[in-house]
Amino acid sequence: MEKVISVKNVSKKYILYRNPKERLLDLIIPKKLGEDFFALSHVDFEAYKGDIIGFIGTNGSGKSTLSNIIAGIVPESSGQVNVKGNTSLIAVASGLNNDLTGRDNIELKLLMLGFNKKEIKELEPDIIKFSELEKFIDQPVKSYSSGMKSRLGFSISVNVDPDILIIDEALSVGDKAFAEKSLRKMREFKEKGKTMIFVSHSLGQMKEFCEKILWLEFGTVRAFGDVEEIIPQYEQFINKYKNMSQEQKNEYRNEIMRKVNE
């Protein structure tokens, strides 16, 4: 099978500064200031064509960072990322221009994705229909509700027919009917053999949809395997983790970090 995503030893470092002054000084003087924070450290992971992979983990485990890196939005600090084909990331806060109408936003977004005039003309009706925005499509986006915005963003990303689709918590907005419809579209993609990555806290959706699960913990890979194998382990862990006190959580975290740094 063809390997479409290969992530090798990838780390993502953010530098945390105490104040803006420190940030500026760090740019100017050679001495290093600020505290390093690794959103991801030494992550390895591979996906083959047609894989449907779920990213799970507690808050701050690096799920979104990893999906952003795969989507080519955020650069990695070190390591290698190879992605074959074009990716499309669907996130709740998809970049729309508030001053333009929904229709203009569709055209603008498609232009930026490299479509030409004719292709845009063809895609536009499908996107509008899928978004169910109807007469709101010619209203400025700033008048939209958050559900409408995410529906529009979702419709654009889904209809451009990407090779790799990354969905970051985007299905949790919008009503049940739209979520159903989106899931149907996902299934269609699944049948077409497209690679998909799901980032979600909803284990139910994961179980139903994904084949493999990547379990991230504080920026490292805890486990990667089949759904049937990982999800029960994760559920068990979550139950334990939920009942920990803050100190226990911190201790647990430090222990993991120590293991990674060794």
Partner 1 sequence: MKLALEILKEQKKYFYLIRRLSLYELKSNNKSNYLGMAWELINPAIQILIYWLVFGTLMRREPIIISGNEVPFINWLMAGFFVWTLFYQSVIQGSKSIYTRLRMLSKMSFPMSIIPSYVIFSQFYIHLMSMLVTFLIFIIINQSINIYIIQLPYYMFAGLCLMFSISLVMSTLSTIVRDVHMLLNSTLKMFLYLSGVLWPITLLSDYPFLMKVMKLNPVYYLINGYRQSFFGNTWSIISEWKYTLFFWGLVLVIFLIGSRLHMKFRRHFIDFL
Strand 87-91 relative to strand 78-83, pairing: unpaired
Q: What span, in angstroms and rounded, lies between the C-alpha atoms of 30 and 25? A: 9
Tally: H helices and E strands in the chain: 9, 9
Stretch binding partner 1 (CB under 8 A), from 45-53, 95-103, 193-201, 235-243: 95-103
Residues in a beta bridge with 35? 16
Tell me whether residue 96 or residue 230 sits nearer to partner 1 (CB atom).
96
Residue from 3, 35, 82, 95 touching partner 1 (CB under 8 A): that is 95
Q: Is 89 in the site for partner 1 (CB under 8 A)?
A: yes
66: left (phi over 0), alpha (psi -120 to 50) or beta: alpha
Residues in a beta bridge with 253? none
Q: Is 177 in the site for partner 1 (CB under 8 A)?
A: no
Q: Is 16 in the site for partner 1 (CB under 8 A)?
A: no
Minimum separation from the CB atom of position 47 to partner 1 (A): 19
Q: What span, in angstroms and rounded, lies between the C-alpha atoms of 82 and 128? A: 33
Stretch binding partner 1 (CB under 8 A), from 99-107, 183-191, 218-226, 251-259: 99-107
User: In this structure, are residues 227 and 53 in contact, taking their beta carbons and an 8 Å threshold?
Assistant: no
Tell me whether residue 100 or residue 257 sits nearer to partner 1 (CB atom).
100
Tell me whether residue 199 or residue 230 sits nearer to partner 1 (CB atom).
199
Smallest Cα–Cα separation from 166: which of 217, 123, 200, 205? 200
Minimum separation from the CB atom of position 111 to partner 1 (A): 6
Residues forming contacts to partner 1 in the complex (CB under 8 A) are 14, 24, 27, 71-75, 89, 95-97, 99-100, 104, 107-108, 111-112, 116, 140
